[in-house]
């Protein structure tokens, strides 16, 4: 008698996993040894259908945003120190904080800035940089669902020429 061969059959669904252990004879299924199914919870709130992962996702997004900001600030400060714009000493760097970066940026348009002033203005730009969203939901199109009526100009030009 030869060795017995088996096959594991899986059925992957969106909310379940079905499985069966099948004994093979001449590479054909001969008997089902054991079978079962694992049903997963929906992952949505039954009352309103909202995802249960929203709170985790928003918390994770806030942590990532904060971590990226801190890394960006640390990298910029290290580069400014490395290239001689910021002083090495932390207390000397803290002394630059009262300088108004907006005034420094305006001053830099007309006259040269000292390396420390330039670093303060550049660090402020790095710190306050933002993004412009390209999401369609951010657009303020109030009549997105309404049909637009043709203007009088378009209506007068719509007659074919003689």
Partners of 17 in the beta sheet?
12, 38
Give the per-residue pLDDT at 85: 92
The angle formed by the CA atoms of residues 69, 74 and 78, to the nearest 5 degrees, is 150
What are the structural domain ranges in the chain? 5-39, 57-128
The three-point CA angle 142-61-64 to 5° equals: 135
Task: Identify the bridge partners of residue 38 per DSSP, sorted by sequence position.
Answer: 17
d(CA 162, CA 159): 9
Segments of the chain with pLDDT less than 70: 1-2, 130-162
For residue 127, give every residue at least 6 positions away whose Cβ sits within 8 Å of its Cβ, in sequence order, or none. 69, 73, 76
Residue 81 region by backbone torsions, left for phi larger than 0, else alpha for psi between -120 and 50, else beta: alpha
- Distances from the Cα of 46 to the Cα of 33, 40, 52, 123, 131, angstroms: 37, 14, 10, 48, 36
pLDDT value of residue 18: 96
For residue 28, the 8-state DSSP code is E
For the entire predicted model, the pTM comes to 0.51
Q: How far apart are CA 62 and CA 68, in angstroms?
A: 10
pLDDT at 130: 65
Cα–Cα dist 117/109, whole Å: 13
What's the full length of the chain, in residues?
Answer: 162
């Amino acid at each position: 008698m030869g060795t017995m061969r088996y096959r594991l059959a899986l059925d992957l669904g969106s909310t379940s996993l079905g499985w069966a252990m099948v004994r093979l004879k001449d590479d054909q299924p001969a008997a089902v040894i054991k079978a079962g199914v694992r049903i997963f919870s929906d992952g949505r709130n039954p009352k309103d259908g909202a995802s249960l992962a929203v709170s985790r996702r928003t918390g994770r997004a806030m942590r990532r945003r904060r971590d990226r900001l801190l890394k960006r600030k640390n990298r910029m400060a290290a580069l400014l120190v490395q290239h001689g714009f910021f002083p090495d000493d932390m207390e000397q760097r803290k002394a630059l904080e009262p300088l108004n970066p907006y005034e420094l940026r305006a001053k830099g348009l007309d006259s040269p800035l000292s390396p420390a002033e330039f670093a303060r203005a550049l660090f402020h730009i790095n710190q306050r940089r933002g993004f412009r969203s390209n999401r369609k939901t951010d657009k303020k199109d109030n009549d997105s669902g309404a049909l637009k009526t043709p203007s009088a100009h378009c209506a007068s030009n719509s007659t074919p020429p003689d």
